[in-house]
Amino acid sequence: MDILTLELYDVTVSEALREISRVLADHPGLPLRILTGGDEMLLHNLQRYLERAGRSAKPVREQGHWRIDATLLGGSDPAPAPRPAPPPPTLRPGLAPALPAPPPEPAAMRPLLLTRAALGSGNPGAGRRLLLGVLRELDPGVPWVGLALEATELLEDPEAATLLASLQARGTRIRVSRESLLFPDDPAGAFELIEDSLWQRLAGKGDLTII
C-alpha cells in the first residue's frame, strides 16, 4: 500500500497542523508518514492532533529527527469507498436548482486569561505545578494567553517563563496586562503588553476563558 510522506522541518506548530489537516482531507485513505526535527513540543502536539483525527501516532527517533507513522486506529488504512452520485434534482418549470448550504465554519477557540500564579489556595507549590500543566496541555488553536494580576508572577519563575516563551515560539501569543504591571521595571520581557479594555470587552461577551 502507498504511504504518503510529509516533511515538516522548520515550521511552527500552527503551520504543521494546517498542513496535516490539508493532507488528511485530500488523502483520507492513505497511511501517513511525517518527518520532523527534534522539537519535543511539536512532536507532542502532532501526536495529540493525529489521535483526535482518529489515527495512531507512533514516533520513532532517527538520528536527531522524528518519524511518525500515522494509520487509522483499529488497523491499516482501507481505501475509501466511492460515494454514490446524488440523483439529479427534479425541477419544476422556471425554477433553478437550490445550491447546497456550505458546511459550517468550526468555532474559533477562546483566548485564555490567567489571573493567578497557582491553582487553588491550599498548597502553592502543587498549585503552581498544576497551572503549568494546563499551559503544557494548551491546545494550539488557542490564539493567545494573557497574564493579569497575580499571574504576572509567572514572569519571575524561570520554569514558567521558559514554558511561556515556548508557547509563543509555536505561535500562541503571550500578552501581559498593562494595568497589572504596577511598576515600570516589572518583567514583561519579550511579551506583548495588552490594553485591559481588550480582554475586559471579550470577558463581557463571554468570549474569554479566565482562570
The predicted-structure confidence for 50-60, as pLDDT tens digits, reads as follows 888 888 888 88
Given a cut of 60, whether residue 80 has pLDDT beyond it is no
For residue 151, give Cα distances in angstroms to 85, 116, 161, 202.
56, 4, 11, 18
Given a cut of 50, whether residue 77 has pLDDT beyond it is no
- Rounded CA-CA distance 202/193 in Å is 16
Question: pLDDT tens across 166-189, in order?
Answer: 999 889 999 999 998 866 555 666
Q: Which of 2-11, 73-82, 102-111, 139-148 has the highest mean pLDDT?
A: 139-148
Given a cut of 60, whether residue 9 has pLDDT beyond it is yes
Q: Which of 73, 78, 75, 40 is nearest to 59 (CA)?
A: 40
Confidence (pLDDT) at 90:
61
Q: Which of 130, 140, 135 is nearest to 113 (CA)?
A: 135
3-class DSSP state of 208: coil
Confidence of residue 88 (pLDDT cuts 50, 70, 90): low
Confidence (pLDDT) at 51:
83
4-72 — its CATH code?
Answer: 3.30.1370.110
Confidence (pLDDT) at 183:
61
Q: Which of 71, 54, 53, 67 is nearest to 17 (CA)?
A: 53
Work out the average pLDDT over 110-119: 93
Confidence of residue 39 (pLDDT cuts 50, 70, 90): confident
The pTM score is 0.51
Q: Which residue has the cell 519579550?
A: 190
Contact of 177 with 196, CB cutoff 8 Å: yes
- Rounded CA-CA distance 178/155 in Å is 14
Ramachandran category for residue 66: left, alpha or beta (phi over 0 → left; psi -120 to 50 → alpha):
beta
Task: Delimit the domains of the chain by residue range.
Answer: 4-72, 112-210
Confidence of residue 79 (pLDDT cuts 50, 70, 90): very low
Question: pLDDT tens across 134-144, in order?
Answer: 999 999 999 99
